[in-house]
A and B are shown apart, each in its own frame.
Chain A
Amino acid sequence: MQTQPTIDYALHLADSALILGQRNGEWCAHGPILEQDIAITNITLDLIGQSRLFYQYAAACMNESGTAEATEDTLAYLRTERSFKNLLMCELPNGDWAQTVLRQFFFSQFQLLLLEQLQHAGNEQYAAIAAKSIKETQYHVKWSSEWVIRLGDGTAESHEKMENAVNALWMYTGEFFIAADYEAVDVAALKNKWMEAVTAIFEEATLSMPENTFMQTGGKTGTHTEHLGYILSELQYLQRTYPGAEW
């Protein structure tokens, strides 16, 4: 039988993937060019797929321990703002294309390192989900880092927008590496590798690394930005309006 930390951790991983997927999904039909509309939508589908695997695992653990009758949908659709455990980064508005690709890069680069560790965290279910997700995430890193470089080293305008995005998002990266008590992976230990990867890409993108700034935290333990409430009210609207209905 799995313990509460295992369930919370699965929810944390699921929530991050779902909320970022929900945000990226807003681009569908509104992308800068058809080919990239399709590309980011592939990432959206990967993220939603990952969230389902983690929710299903959390639900299985919960049902096994008899704490609640749960399914992937009750977990995604019937939990409230304060019980969502996603990273703050994932709930931030899309902004422009620069902000979206940078958010993806920060997140995916972190997720890749995390999934690599999750394969060896001594939990078969996690290992299986991680093994599948890693392949997807490697592509997300490639796609997003190439866009960071392209925009950073593109035109003066795109460079400026990229710098703005860095300034807007950097303060949400600190949370990645501060462990919540349920985490099965030592996230603090991932920081150096993540910084190395980001530094290398930023160098190629001719972007400057931000100085030490204040870091926002709270997502992992349910203290979110104001954005999350709006996301959930859209996401959960039908399930809330028609309780118990099958779709």
Chain B
Amino acid sequence: MHIQIRKFYYGDIPEENTGGATPINHSTEQGWPLWEVFIRSKQGLDHKHVGSLHAADAAMAIENARDVYTRRQEGVSIWVVESKFVHASDPADAESLYEPAADKIYRHPTFYDLPDAVKHM
């Protein structure tokens, strides 16, 4: 597929027609591992995935998460997990995994028609 994108916007500048800096040697630096961050926004609620960050170890990951993701009182508790330990379902399996639930409408309370006289059910 041949695509030529000429338009650009803030944060979308074409690589052509640019210049300026002198290339340096690419570093071979091993970066800090990537961590996924989960935050409980208040007591009684689940931890929710909010994003990721880099940290050298788990303790630092929690502190970094505190500094990065709770600057505006977004949370009261933090979980971190190194991204490489997250296992995910395959999007290619989505149809066979999730669509079979679609026709089991009897699992939902709205499936059942009751007279209005029945209260509190």
Contact = CB atoms under 8 A, between A and B. Distances in A.
Interface of A: 33-36, 38-39, 42, 142-143, 146, 150
Contacts of B56: 150
Contacts of B53: 35
B32 to A, nearest CB: 7
Interface in B48-79: 53-56, 59-60, 63-64, 67-68, 71
Contacts of B54: 33-35
3 smallest A-B Cβ distances: which pairs? Answer: A35-B64, A39-B67, A38-B67
20 contacts: A33-B32, A33-B54, A34-B54, A35-B53, A35-B54, A35-B55, A35-B64, A35-B67, A35-B68, A38-B64, A38-B67, A39-B63, A39-B64, A39-B67, A42-B67, A42-B71, A143-B63, A146-B59, A146-B63, A150-B56
Contacts, number: 24
B67 A146 contact: no
Interface residues of B, number: 12
A150 B60 CA distance: 11
Interface in B37-56: 53-56
A35 B59 CA distance: 13
Given A39-B67, A146-B59, A146-B60, 6 more contacts: A34-B54, A35-B53, A38-B67, A42-B67, A42-B71, A143-B63
Contacts of A143: 63
Contacts of A36: 64
A146 B56 CA distance: 12
Nearest to B31: A33
Most buried by A among B55, B60, B71: B60
Contacts of A142: 63
A35 B56 CA distance: 11
A150 B67 CA distance: 18
Nearest to A35: B64
A143 B32 CA distance: 18
A38 B56 CA distance: 16
Contacts of A33: 32, 54
B31 to A, nearest CB: 9
A34 B68 CA distance: 9
Contacts of B32: 33
Contacts of B55: 35
B68 A38 contact: yes
B54 to A, nearest CB: 6
Contacts of A42: 67, 71
Most buried by B among A33, A35, A42: A35
B55 to A, nearest CB: 7
Nearest to A37: B67
B52 to A, nearest CB: 11
Nearest to B67: A39
Contacts of B68: 35, 38
